[in-house]
Amino acid sequence: MKYSRLVSTGRALPRQLVTNEELARTHGLDTSDQWIVERTGIRTRYRAAPDENATTLGEQAARQALETGGWAAEDLDLIIMGTTSSELMFPNSAVLLQAKLGIPGVPAFSVEAVCSGFLYALSVADQFIRSGQAARVLVVGAETFSRFVDPRDRSTSILFGDGAGAVLLEAADEPGIMVTRLHADGRYAELLYFPSGPGRNFRSMQNDYLIMQGSRVFKIAVQKLGDVLEETLRAANVTKEQIDWLVPHQANLRIIEALAHRLELPMNRVVVTVDQHANTSSASVPLALDIAIRDGRIQRGDLLMLEAFGGGFTWGAALIRY
Ligand code: UT7
């Protein structure tokens, strides 16, 4: 039986850091640092400049993961990218990343599941490795969601930031990735969506912005994520007490706290980066993972629970022995 082992991680952030005060002042928003911190936990976020995008940020994160893992790009036999911010309609960012890494012929594709994109991509990579179709896979979550929000809308513009995270997976005799569980429910599409695309109102896209009913998304996220955490534990035959670290999607500190409570996990076993990065969509989980591995909190042998929730709705979780 083959499993996927997590070899190394990497991350990248845009050059520009924006505080709550700067954001409010620049766009004349009727908000305050106090409101944003109390309701979301967010203090700063990074915003991509015109020359920064999902591919450039993904490349930086990927190169860091390769260097840390001691691999050359030529060692890869598959690239999967979770992103909804591909800078072109096509080719997708994974293929553009493959070209930047200089490895023609290596299969590369993107998975578009909004904030769950990395979890979906990780799960697909795991299936490729388990089935013997790939042995050394680069999985990237990279986004520039700040470009999807109306800078004058206080209810969404404060929430999102840009960034990228990457992991390398390789085939191993033991897990590694123990279980992944994915879900979607398209009946909720109107609670969080972008109102144009190639099949509808394509020409108006540059004037459109992300639309979200925040408080309804909040409640459903807490419920669905709580359920998938328990489902994942059951599938792996693991108890809550065995989890060493929760590495959650970083959308709102209050959602993260509710899930830690459901797992009966103290907050000092939860990786929180939403204060620094805000919601970076599919980059948020691999960014948080890389930070906690590099600062030494997550150690080899630790049991990690990853989870994410996003537009669609899509959601999922992964249990990993690091
Ligand atoms: O990653 C994808 C998934 N996305 C999420 O998980 C987001 C989930 N939702 C949330 O994080 C929260 O719902 C928000 C942070 C978006 C909003 O917090 P809330 O506590 O649910 O507030 P609310 O939407 O119920 O709004 C309460 C009030 C409203 O004013 P009224 O109608 O009570 O007068 C809003 O207009 O807060 C107002 N408000 C703000 N006030 C100051 C909304 N945004 C702001 C703001 N500053 N930035």
> Could you give the CA distance from residue 61 to residue 140 in angstroms, rounded to a whole number?
8
Is the domain defined by 178-321 classed in CATH 3.40.47.10? Answer: yes
Helices (H) then strands (E): counts for the chain:
10, 13
Query: What 3 state SS string does 268-316 have?
Result: HHECCCHHHHCECHHHHHHHHHHHHHHCCCCCCCCEEEEEEEECCCEEE
> Could you give the CA distance from residue 216 to residue 301 in angstroms, rounded to a whole number?
37
Cβ-Cβ contacts under 8 Å for 238 (sequence gap 6 or more)? 178, 303, 319
Q: Which protein residue's CA is at the shortest distance from atom 37 of ligand 1?
A: 155
Does 204 score more than 90 pLDDT? no
Residue holding tokens 């920064």? 52
Are 81 and 58 in contact by the 8 Å Cβ rule? The answer is yes
Q: What is the DSSP letter of 252?
A: -
Token pair recorded at residue 16 = 């520009």
Q: What's residue 203's pLDDT?
A: 82
Q: What's residue 119's pLDDT?
A: 98
Residue 115: active-site member: yes
Q: Which protein residue's CA is at the shortest distance from atom 38 of ligand 1?
A: 155
Domain-by-domain residue ranges, the chain? 3-173, 178-321
Q: What's residue 202's pLDDT?
A: 83
Q: What's residue 131's pLDDT?
A: 97
Record the pTM. 0.97
Are 113 and 143 in contact by the 8 Å Cβ rule? The answer is no
- For the chain, first and last CA: distance in Å? 18
Task: Let me know if the fold of 3-173 is the same as that of 178-321.
Answer: yes
Residue of 21, 145, 215 best suited for mutating to test ligand 1, as the one with most atoms within 8 Å of CB:
215
Does 1 score more than 80 pLDDT? no
* Per annotation, catalytic residue among 20, 53, 92, 115: 115
Q: What is the DSSP letter of 198?
A: T
Degrees to nearest 5, angle at CA 60 with 57 and 62: 105
Does 205 score more than 90 pLDDT? no
> Could you give the CA distance from residue 264 to residue 237 in angstroms, rounded to a whole number?
17
pLDDT tens for 74-130 read: 999 999 999 999 989 999 999 999 999 999 999 999 999 999 999 999 999 999 999
Number of C-beta neighbours around residue 123 at 10 A: 23
Q: What's residue 303's pLDDT?
A: 98
At 290, phi and psi to the nearest 5?
Answer: -60, -40
Degrees to nearest 5, angle at CA 184 with 222 and 132: 115
Q: Which protein residue's CA is at the shortest distance from atom 35 of ligand 1?
A: 155
Are 316 and 123 in contact by the 8 Å Cβ rule? The answer is yes
Does 60 score more than 80 pLDDT? yes
> Could you give the CA distance from residue 53 to residue 58 in angstroms, rounded to a whole number?
8
Residue of 29, 35, 38, 39 best suited for mutating to test ligand 1, as the one with most atoms within 8 Å of CB:
39
Residue holding tokens 């123990």? 178
CB-side neighbour CA atoms (13 Å) of 175: 15
Q: Describe the strand order of the beta sheet including 314-321 as a list of residue ranges.
A: 177-184, 314-321, 303-310, 245-248
Are 315 and 116 in contact by the 8 Å Cβ rule? The answer is yes
pLDDT tens for 90-101 read: 999 999 999 999
Q: How far apart are the CA of 245 and the centre of ligand 1, in A?
A: 28
* Per annotation, catalytic residue among 20, 53, 92, 249: 249
Give Cα 276 distance to the centre of its chain: 15
Picking from 143, 160, 145, 194, the residue whose alpha carbon sits closest to that of residue 23 is 160
> Given 3.40.47.10, 1.10.490.10, 2.60.120.260, 1.10.10.10, which CATH number is that of 3-173?
3.40.47.10
